[in-house]
Structure formats: C-alpha cells, structure tokens
A and B are shown apart, each in its own frame.
Chain A
Amino acid sequence: VQPPEKPLQAEEWNKLRESFRSPEIFEEVMFNNMVRCNSPIDVAKSLLTHVAKSNGDVTYNLLVKYLALCVQQGQTSEIRDVYDIMKIRFKILESGAYNLLIKGLSNSDQWRMALTLLEEVKKIMIPSRTNYESCIKAASRHQEMNLAFELYHEMLAKDLVPTLDVLQAFFDFCRGMKGAELQKELFGILLYLRDNQIYPHKTFMRSIKLWFESIPGENWRTRLTNIKDSGLCPVCNHQLEDSDLTEAEYNNLRERIIKDVIHGTDTFRKTSPQEFEAFQKFVENRLPFDIVIDGLNVSHLKSRKMQCENLFDAVNCLAKENARLLVLGRKHMLANSSHWKREIMKEMQNKADFFFAENISEDDAFLLYATLQSGKHCKFVTRDFLRDHKACLSDSKTRHLFRKWQRGHQIALIYCVKSKKVFLSVFIQQPALRYDCVVQTTGDTWHIPYKDTFDEKYSYQVPRKWLCIQQK
C-alpha cells in the first residue's frame, strides 16, 4: 500500500485499514512503507494519534518504526520525545531502539546524549560496533579527539572489530591538528592495520595521505607507487621488510602446524601415527630440501596431458642448479596405469626424492611439515590455497603467521604455450613474494599497501600498489 501524502483523520485511517487485506498488521505494514517511501513525519504522527486514541496505547514495535522514520529524516526533537516516552513505558529498551537512537542523536547537535545512551546500552549488553562507530564519529566531528580515542580503545578492549569507516574518520578529522599524543594514536591505528593484515582501500589511503601531508612542520612527502619484485621502493629506494618470520615465529608456526593441522583432534583423520613417523624419519634422513612439490596438484595442471608427464615437466623445470627436490604423492601413483607410467615415474625418482602417502591420507599436511622442517630457504609448489589447513589453526595470530609464511614460500606454477607452431608448453613460475606485504615503517618512512577497488574480496590476492611516505 502506498502511504498517504498528508495527515489523515481517524475515519480516513479506518477506511484505509478496512480496505487492507489483513487489518491486524495494517499499521506495521503502513509504517514499513512510510520508512521505505520516506513519508512526511506528520503522516506518521497522524497514524500514531489514531492508533493511540483507538487502542489507548502504541506498541513498542510501532514506536521503533516511527523512530526509524525520525532518524531517517534527522528529526532530533522527535527522537528525544520518543525516547522519553519509551523510558516512561518500558523498563529497558532493546538493541534495535538503541541503535536507532544512538545513530539519530549522534548526527545532531545533541550528540552528547548519544554518549549517555551508549552508557545505558553497556549496562545491559555489549554495544555493537556500529554503536561505537556513531559515537566516535560524532565526537571527532566536534573535535573531541580524546574522547573519540577513548571510545576507540574501549571498543578494541571489547574485542569488537572497528569498521574501516571509523579508522578513516580519525584520519579525516585529525587533519591539520598538532600534538604528539594525537600523532601517536594515529600511528597506532596504522600499526593496528599492520597487525591484522588489513589493507586500506583507495579512499581510506587518500585520507591517510592527506593527514600526513597536513601535519604542520613535519614535512612528510607522499607518493603512490608500485613496489618492484625485489622489494625496492622506486620512490625512496627503501628496501621493504622481507617476508621471513623471526626465529620464534617460525618455530611457533612449525609446532602449531604439527599440533593443529597434522594431529588435530585425531591423528587418524589425516594420516596415521605409523605413517607420520615413517615420514618424519624419511625427511630427517634427507634434509634439507630446497623445494617441496605437491605431486598430485601439479599433475593436474593441464588436463589434456597425461598426469605423470605434467609432473615430469614440472620436476624438470624446477630441477635446476642442483636444487634438492621432494615430491609428495600417494601410493596409487606407483601402480602402472594410463596416467602414471612406470618408466616415467622411475626416471623422475632419479631427479628428486619421492614420498608416497597412503591413498586415503592427506598429502598437504606432509607438504607443510617437510617445507617447515627444511628451513627458511625452502619453498613449496602447489596451486592449492591451503585454506582448509589454515582454518585448522586455532587462533588468528597463528593464522596470520601462516599467511605471511605462505606468501613468502609458496610457488605457483602456470602452464603456458610458448610458440604457436609446436605445442611446446613450459611452466612459468609465479614467484613467492620476497617482501612482506603489510603496513610498515622505519620511523621516518611509511609504506602502506592499498586496495585499488573498494572491495577486493580474495584473501590470497595481495595489493601491488603502495603509498610511500617519507620525511624530508
């Protein structure tokens, strides 16, 4: 139903109501449509008056819907009135009403009221991150940066993840402001991005850029750039952090992989204790490897070809300069079949070490173990994103470590046709990144990777564009 365009009399509402299909929910539907069509507030008021007069009461549900309309149109005095009425009628309010009230009031000149409401919410539940967002934005809009940061830290302490909007707001509203404390806070936000491997999007990056440029008397120079594969910044010639983990991080990751990924809740789910022990012995006798290859993954690179030939090509491609290779596979590869020819398998085994797991075992877990055991220089080859194994890790910090290690050590192979005449195809290596793709600083330089589009969702893609900031 189309809501009317001006206030109606009681009889007129009655008529409308009777003509409606199900009169019991008429008011609700009407209010929903008013919110959708952004009807004038007087129309809603006239309906409320009609309801109040005929029932002697207005239900909470309708009040919230009316509140939504008021918030949508920024009618501050009405929002306050509704709040007063709700407070009289009900002991406590629920989150929906609080969300609306905080949102509505924080955008008005009565934004301090939103803060008191936030305190009220805290008494009955943990406020949502959008509650905090509204309050923080309101405080920073009125230049109360201390208050805004206080709220921000409170939010982090409650394990809420701030929206990128809030973080951006800090940079927007601090533009041109001076103060060591303030600067420290904003650097803190940048380090938060670093710790959680968050990449700002383009508009956020611009806010960061403008803020740096605006700090009075500090002379920051900013440039957008692409980082070379070597990890050298072309603007300031600064070498980015490499992707290696520290000794402690590396050991931690290795232990967690063994504990969470390979053993998990039950060692039998992915392998068996005997098999894992055999593998451990096998690896220890031949350490260290330079490259560990997921044989089955590589063998499926080109489906037209025989699988063992795919693997053969890959091994040949990687077996340069006396690199020590380990190929992981499953036992069924040894049975002479149409895809796995015995002669070719034999030949490969001269060039690389092979380990064949049981057919029902997970070879990926072995891949991770062998690579980590070989040391930091060792790389592994698979197109698999290893998401399921990352998910087995129990805390987000280790997962971040895993991602970082993966970025630095995974080689993906791509098949491509070189010349048109002959069907000669070669593998192209997609190299592991040598530098670490996170927000980073040396004190007088900052390098911030950013996403070009607003929502690049793929977690495996790392941005190639950077913001280079240096102090002259």
Chain B
Amino acid sequence: MQSANVLLKRIVRSSVLPFAAQHGIKKDLFPLSRTLSLSLCLKQDNSCNPSEKLDLDAWKKVMRSGLQEEVSETVSESKELSALAAAREILEMWRLAGRAVPENISEEQLKTFMECPSKSAKKKYLKYLHLKELYKKNDKRKVEEKRERRLETKEQASETHETKKTSFVCLWASAMDRAYNWRVAQSMVFGQPLVFDMSYEKDMSFREVANTVRQLVLSESCNRRSVDPFHIHFCNFKDDSLYHKEFIKHYKEAWSKLLITVTDQCYTEVFPKEKLIYLTADSPRVMKTFDHDKIYIVGSMVDKSIKTGVSLARAKRLGLETAALPLEKYLLWNTGAKNLTLDQMMHILLTLKDTGDWKKALEFVPKRKYCGFVNKPVHELKKTLNLINTLKLGKRQEEVLKQFAKNYSKKLTQK
C-alpha cells in the first residue's frame, strides 16, 4: 500500500504538477484524495512511457552537428591571437558564463584590464565597467521613452492649435546663467576665498582622481548657484596633471571661462598664514563657528582606502591651524567615515556662511551616516548622565573609592 502511495506521489509530481500549477493550485494544497483526477493522469502517463521514447543524448548530436566547417576556421585563427584578442576572448567566455562583464569594451579599457595586478582587481574592474554599461543603457532607454512621450503630447497639442501669450521671450536658462555669472564675478572681487588643495594626486589612484574632479565640478556648480558664492581657489594646481586632464574632460572649452582662480602656487604663498584654516576630519580641534575672515582649505582628495592623517600631515608641515566639523557634537553618528565628499563640504560651508546655523548646514551629511540630531550638545548630555550615575551609586561610595585610591598610592610610595 505504501509503495503504491509513493508511486502515486511521484506521478503527481512529475506530470500533474505543471498542469496543476497552471491552474493556480498550490503544490502543498494539492489533495491526494482526489482520485478522479489522479486516475485520469495515470492513464495519460501510462500511454506514453518517457524513458522509452526519449533519446537522452540527442543534445550531443545537435551540438556536434553542423559545426565542422567552423572548426577548421577557428584552428587557423587561434594561431595568430594577439594578447589583446586573447583577453577579449576570455572576456567573451566570462560573459557567456554569466559573470558581470561588459558587452562592449574599448581597446583602452582592455589594456587597463590586462594591467590589473591581480585576479580580484580584474574582476572588480570588469564589474565596474559592467555596471557603468548597464546604467548607460538604462539612461538611454529612459531618454528614448521620454522623447516618444513628448512627441505624443506634441501631436495632441498640435491638434488643439493653441498658442500661449507671455511677456517674456523664453530664454530662462541663459538669463539665469548670466545672473549667476554676475554674482560669481562679484565674489571674485569681494567674496570670501575658499581654497581647494590640489596636491594629492600621487596619493590617489586614477579612479580616485576622476571621482575627485567630479566632486569638484559639483561643488563649483553649487557654489555658482548660491546667493553669496565663495571665491574658489585651486591651489597647487599643476598644468597637464591628471586633475587638469579630467577637468578638461568635464568642462571642455568652458574650463578657461570658469570664474575661479587656478594657480600652481601654494595657499601659503597666496594668503597670510595666520588666516588659513585647514579642514580635515583628523584634526584634534573642532570647529565652533564659521569665521568670515578666515580662509578655509579643503583637501581635494578621495580616499577609498581611508588614509588617515595625510591632510593633517600637510597642515602640520606648513604649520597651519586645522579644524574638523563638529559632527559628533550635533549628530548621533551611526556608520561610515567622518570624511565627507567635496560637494557635501561645499554645501555645508555655503549654508554656514549664509546662516551660521549648524543644524541646517549638517543636513547635508548623508542620512545613512547618522541616526539623528543631538538636541542638546553632547557635554550637557554627559553631565546629566553623570548625575544619574551618581544618584544611582550614591555619592558616598565614590568618595570612599577615591579615598582608598589615595591611601593606596601613599602606601606604595612609602615602600
């Protein structure tokens, strides 16, 4: 009886299931007692015994057939594979195996791929290219969808034949640009300087430099759009450095028209030393207020492998004052490093300059990095904590302990 049951179950699984699933019946709920439908299937199953008819190795025949001509070709080709072509072949195979590999890869990228020092570095680089490709593809698709939608609305609009009347010529973008530029030009004469220290190139990898420049571009644009912009200085900036090349890539011919000061001089040569403050997360000093007479320096560095003390060392060497943002004081820090991106720094400094409100400024710290704002300054919290502790333990006990400690040290010295 039992064996019959097992057999039944097997049949149910192998042949009825798909049928059942198609009709939305869940596997677990399938009632075994429904003999009617079961017997029906049994009959079907018996009518065609699969193992008799199925040729299990048929796939091999398919795979082997019709490829003989190609084989002779590949043999002759494989002899003259250059290193690049070989790398391309390997990539193709990885792609077929379902790894994160880009579909198209340029010669230059292939060379960087081959120069990667280790297997994991290669894998990482390919994943990066793969994701980049994916994002690009998605963006392209979205753009196309948008265009189609616009065309549709246009057609509808043309049917209605309506024209709008306004007193302005529609030239918003360029008018805004002119207004912004006017403001930035003013800041170049009267504005507070803000220095970006561009001397970190050899501390960074190529990709870190690229990220740095990207962040600087974002910072510059948000400065340009602000009410009261900084006068941005790029100090220690060497022509035909990697920074320079990346900037040209981003700005193209607008690079020479940017309303910022770019110099290969050090900030100590441009400004009086006592006015400079180097902002670094490693600084032991915490910034209390934003000083409008000081010149703040931000290190243009992205360090993916947290290099502690690099910018602090630079400030120490030149004997400059340093400061860190009071993140601990205002935020309940959660995870992540205390170093922020350059554009976040820019947002924070601009807000401080305009309002002097730390809470408002620190809104620009990424939300994932902190749990929330501290309502009171931390030292006040600590005071109340201490108060609670002393109340709990009782003040006397603490005194006894202190007394004992003193006596003990006396005893030891007498020895």
Which residues from chain A sit less than 8 Å from chain B, CB to CB? 2, 4-9, 12, 15-16, 18-19, 28, 42, 45-46, 48-49, 51-53, 56-61, 64, 81, 85, 88-94, 96-97, 124-126, 265-270, 272, 304-306, 309, 312-313, 316, 344, 347, 359-360, 423-424
- A64, B97: Cβ atoms closer than 8 Å: yes
- A94, B97: Cβ atoms closer than 8 Å: yes
B67, closest chain A residue (CB): A88
- B405, A306: Cβ atoms closer than 8 Å: yes
| B95 to A: closest C-beta gap in Å | 9
| A387 to B: closest C-beta gap in Å | 14
**Is B409 engaged at the interface, CB distance under 8 Å to the other chain?**
yes
Q: How far is the CA of A97 from the CA of B96 in the complex (A)?
A: 11
Within 8 A of A (CB), among B290-312: 308-310, 312
**Is B62 engaged at the interface, CB distance under 8 Å to the other chain?**
yes
- A19, B21: Cβ atoms closer than 8 Å: yes
Please give, as numbers and ranges, the residues of chain B lying within 8 Å of A46 by CB-CB distance. Answer: 50, 54, 56
Given contacts A268-B314, A305-B405, A359-B284, contact A94 B90 (CB under 8 A): yes
- A309, B409: Cβ atoms closer than 8 Å: yes
Q: How far is the CA of A94 from the CA of B13 in the complex (A)?
A: 37
Please give, as numbers and ranges, the residues of chain B lying within 8 Å of A126 by CB-CB distance. Answer: 119
Q: How far is the CA of A4 from the CA of B74 in the complex (A)?
A: 39
Q: How far is the CA of A61 from the CA of B99 in the complex (A)?
A: 10
**Is B89 engaged at the interface, CB distance under 8 Å to the other chain?**
yes
Can you report 29 residue pairs joining A to B where beta carbons are below 8 Å apart?
A4-B13, A5-B10, A5-B13, A5-B14, A7-B51, A9-B48, A9-B53, A12-B14, A12-B18, A19-B21, A45-B57, A49-B56, A49-B57, A52-B59, A53-B59, A58-B63, A88-B63, A89-B67, A90-B93, A91-B77, A124-B90, A268-B312, A268-B313, A269-B312, A312-B412, A316-B412, A344-B409, A360-B312, A423-B404
Q: How far is the CA of A261 from the CA of B67 in the complex (A)?
A: 62
Q: How far is the CA of A128 from the CA of B71 in the complex (A)?
A: 29
- B96, A88: Cβ atoms closer than 8 Å: no
Please give, as numbers and ranges, the residues of chain A lying within 8 Å of B401 by CB-CB distance. Answer: 304
| B125 to A: closest C-beta gap in Å | 15
A42-B56, A46-B54 given. 9 additional CB < 8 A pairs? A56-B62, A58-B59, A64-B97, A85-B63, A89-B63, A265-B203, A268-B313, A269-B310, A269-B312
A348, closest chain B residue (CB): B413
Given contacts A48-B59, A268-B317, A347-B413, contact A8 B14 (CB under 8 A): yes
Q: How far is the CA of A146 from the CA of B58 in the complex (A)?
A: 43
**Chain A proximity mask over B66-77: 1 for CB below 8 Å, otherwise 0:** 010001001001
B15, closest chain A residue (CB): A12
Choose among B18, B59, B96, B308 the residue that contacts A51 (Cβ–Cβ < 8 A): B59
A92, closest chain B residue (CB): B89
Given contacts A5-B13, A53-B58, A309-B405, contact A268 B22 (CB under 8 A): no
A350, closest chain B residue (CB): B413
- A52, B316: Cβ atoms closer than 8 Å: no
Given contacts A4-B14, A45-B57, A306-B405, contact A61 B96 (CB under 8 A): yes
Of all A-B residue pairs in the complex, the 7 with the closest CB atoms, nearest first, are: A268-B313, A52-B59, A15-B18, A94-B93, A60-B96, A52-B62, A45-B56
Q: How far is the CA of A329 from the CA of B1 in the complex (A)?
A: 84
Please give, as numbers and ranges, the residues of chain B lying within 8 Å of A12 by CB-CB distance. Answer: 14-15, 18, 50
Please give, as numbers and ranges, the residues of chain A lying within 8 Å of B308 by CB-CB distance. Answer: 269
- A57, B63: Cβ atoms closer than 8 Å: yes
| A93 to B: closest C-beta gap in Å | 6
Please give, as numbers and ranges, the residues of chain A lying within 8 Å of B271 by CB-CB distance. Answer: none
Q: How far is the CA of A423 from the CA of B407 in the complex (A)?
A: 12
Choose among B90, B96, B203, B309 the residue that contacts A59 (Cβ–Cβ < 8 A): B96
- B18, A93: Cβ atoms closer than 8 Å: no
- B412, A313: Cβ atoms closer than 8 Å: yes
Q: How far is the CA of A42 from the CA of B14 in the complex (A)?
A: 14
**Is B64 engaged at the interface, CB distance under 8 Å to the other chain?**
yes
**Chain A proximity mask over B383-415: 1 for CB below 8 Å, otherwise 0:** 000000000000000000100110011001101
Please give, as numbers and ranges, the residues of chain A lying within 8 Å of B415 by CB-CB distance. Answer: 316
Q: How many A-B residue pairs have CB under 8 A?
A: 144
**Is B55 engaged at the interface, CB distance under 8 Å to the other chain?**
yes
- A81, B59: Cβ atoms closer than 8 Å: no
Please give, as numbers and ranges, the residues of chain A lying within 8 Å of B317 by CB-CB distance. Answer: 266, 268, 272
Please give, as numbers and ranges, the residues of chain B lying within 8 Å of A16 by CB-CB distance. Answer: 17-18
- B19, A15: Cβ atoms closer than 8 Å: yes
| A418 to B: closest C-beta gap in Å | 12
Please give, as numbers and ranges, the residues of chain A lying within 8 Å of B31 by CB-CB distance. Answer: none
Please give, as numbers and ranges, the residues of chain A lying within 8 Å of B21 by CB-CB distance. Answer: 19
Please give, as numbers and ranges, the residues of chain A lying within 8 Å of B37 by CB-CB distance. Answer: none
- B90, A88: Cβ atoms closer than 8 Å: no
- B50, A94: Cβ atoms closer than 8 Å: no
**Is B374 engaged at the interface, CB distance under 8 Å to the other chain?**
no
Most chain A CB within a 10 A radius of its CB, from B50, B53, B119, B401: B50
Given contacts A12-B15, A49-B58, A304-B401, contact A268 B93 (CB under 8 A): no
**Is B165 engaged at the interface, CB distance under 8 Å to the other chain?**
no
- B93, A7: Cβ atoms closer than 8 Å: no
Given contacts A19-B18, A266-B310, A269-B313, contact A85 B64 (CB under 8 A): yes
| A314 to B: closest C-beta gap in Å | 11
Please give, as numbers and ranges, the residues of chain B lying within 8 Å of A19 by CB-CB distance. Answer: 18, 21-22
**Is B60 engaged at the interface, CB distance under 8 Å to the other chain?**
yes
**Is B94 engaged at the interface, CB distance under 8 Å to the other chain?**
yes
Most chain A CB within a 10 A radius of its CB, from B22, B51, B62, B310: B62
Q: How far is the CA of A423 from the CA of B119 in the complex (A)?
A: 58
- B309, A272: Cβ atoms closer than 8 Å: no
Choose among A61, A81, A92, A304 the residue that contacts B98 (Cβ–Cβ < 8 A): A61
**Is B143 engaged at the interface, CB distance under 8 Å to the other chain?**
no
Given contacts A7-B56, A9-B50, A61-B97, contact A18 B63 (CB under 8 A): no
A359, closest chain B residue (CB): B284
| B64 to A: closest C-beta gap in Å | 6
- B62, A53: Cβ atoms closer than 8 Å: yes
Q: How far is the CA of A61 from the CA of B67 in the complex (A)?
A: 19
Q: How far is the CA of A304 from the CA of B15 in the complex (A)?
A: 73
| B396 to A: closest C-beta gap in Å | 16
B71, closest chain A residue (CB): A88
B24, closest chain A residue (CB): A19
| A34 to B: closest C-beta gap in Å | 14
Q: How far is the CA of A94 from the CA of B401 in the complex (A)?
A: 70
Choose among A4, A7, A64, A312 the residue that contacts B409 (Cβ–Cβ < 8 A): A312
**Is B78 engaged at the interface, CB distance under 8 Å to the other chain?**
yes
Please give, as numbers and ranges, the residues of chain A lying within 8 Å of B404 by CB-CB distance. Answer: 423
**Is B157 engaged at the interface, CB distance under 8 Å to the other chain?**
no
- A93, B93: Cβ atoms closer than 8 Å: yes
| B357 to A: closest C-beta gap in Å | 30
Q: How far is the CA of A90 from the CA of B96 in the complex (A)?
A: 11
Q: How far is the CA of A347 from the CA of B77 in the complex (A)?
A: 85
Within 8 A of A (CB), among B258-316: 284, 308-310, 312-314, 316
Please give, as numbers and ranges, the residues of chain B lying within 8 Å of A58 by CB-CB distance. Answer: 59, 62-63
**Is B86 engaged at the interface, CB distance under 8 Å to the other chain?**
yes
Please give, as numbers and ranges, the residues of chain B lying within 8 Å of A48 by CB-CB distance. Answer: 59
- B93, A266: Cβ atoms closer than 8 Å: no
Please give, as numbers and ranges, the residues of chain B lying within 8 Å of A423 by CB-CB distance. Answer: 404
Please give, as numbers and ranges, the residues of chain B lying within 8 Å of A49 by CB-CB distance. Answer: 54-59
Q: How far is the CA of A60 from the CA of B92 in the complex (A)?
A: 11
| A12 to B: closest C-beta gap in Å | 6
A44, closest chain B residue (CB): B56
